[in-house]
Amino acid sequence: MGIRRSLRTSLVATALAAVVLAGCGSDKSDADKANEILQKGIAAQNAGDTVTASVDYNEVLRLDPRNKFAFYNLGLIAQRAADFETARTDYRLALSVDPVYAAALYNLAIVEKAQGNDETAVDLYERTIAADDKFASAYLNLGLLQRELGDKAEGDENLRKAVARDPELAKRIPGGVPAG
């Protein structure tokens, strides 16, 4: 009787392992599907078809609920439509998956600035730079915002850093690159 119970337990364990392994295989399949759909969504978004892109990104999230790229791209779509609350939510969801996702930090900073949350925007630009110190536009926006808030010395320093990383940004600095 003990052997039968042990054999039954082993068979149940083997069946459960097969189900788990089959599930892992389908997870990989779901990940592959999610990636394919993500690429379709990006292509649609680049073509200006934000409706199709949004549908695709939501399908990606159904298959992969922690896909930071789908959240981020939904945030971009909302931001471009001036739906700042939705954009803020989507960027925060991307950041909940990857707290140092520089693109999401940067765009969330832009949204916060647009909503008049200047100090929050400063913090987000600084976090963007901490995540990617080559992010020239983050230095530019941070520097311009710091100048606007009355911190000319710090703002000028960040503007110089922006231009050092991307000389083309000099064109976007009112009055030119500050002397250092």
> What is the distance between the alpha carbons of residues 96 and 82, in angstroms, rounded to a whole number?
22
Q: What integer is the mean pLDDT of 115-143? A: 98
Residue 152 pLDDT > 80: yes
- Residue 48: how many CB atoms within 10 A of its CB? 9
104 CB-near residues (< 8 Å, 6+ apart): 68, 71, 72, 75, 91, 94, 95, 98
Domain architecture of the chain: domains with CATH: 27-93 (1.25.40.10), 99-172 (1.25.40.10)
> What is the distance between the alpha carbons of residues 76 and 86, in angstroms, rounded to a whole number?
10
* pLDDT at site 29: 84
pLDDT in tens, 39-94: 999 999 999 999 999 999 999 999 999 999 999 999 999 999 999 999 999 999 99
For the residues of 101-153, what is the DSSP string, one character each?
-HHHHHHHHHHHHHTT-HHHHHHHHHHHHHH-TT-HHHHHHHHHHHHHTT-HH
* pLDDT at site 25: 47
79 CB-near residues (< 8 Å, 6+ apart): 87, 107, 110, 111
- What is the token pair recorded at 21? 């392994």
> What is the distance between the alpha carbons of residues 135 and 140, in angstroms, rounded to a whole number?
9
* pLDDT at site 37: 98
- What is the token pair recorded at 9? 């337990």
> Where is 167: in which H helix or E strand?
none
Query: pTM, whole model, 2 decimals?
Result: 0.82
Q: How many Cα atoms within 13 Å fall on the side-chain side of residue 38?
A: 20
Residue 180 pLDDT > 90: no
Of the ranges 18-22, 67-71, 94-98, 160-164, which one carries the lowest mean pLDDT score?
18-22
Three-state DSSP at 155 gives helix
> What is the distance between the alpha carbons of residues 26 and 3, in angstroms, rounded to a whole number?
34
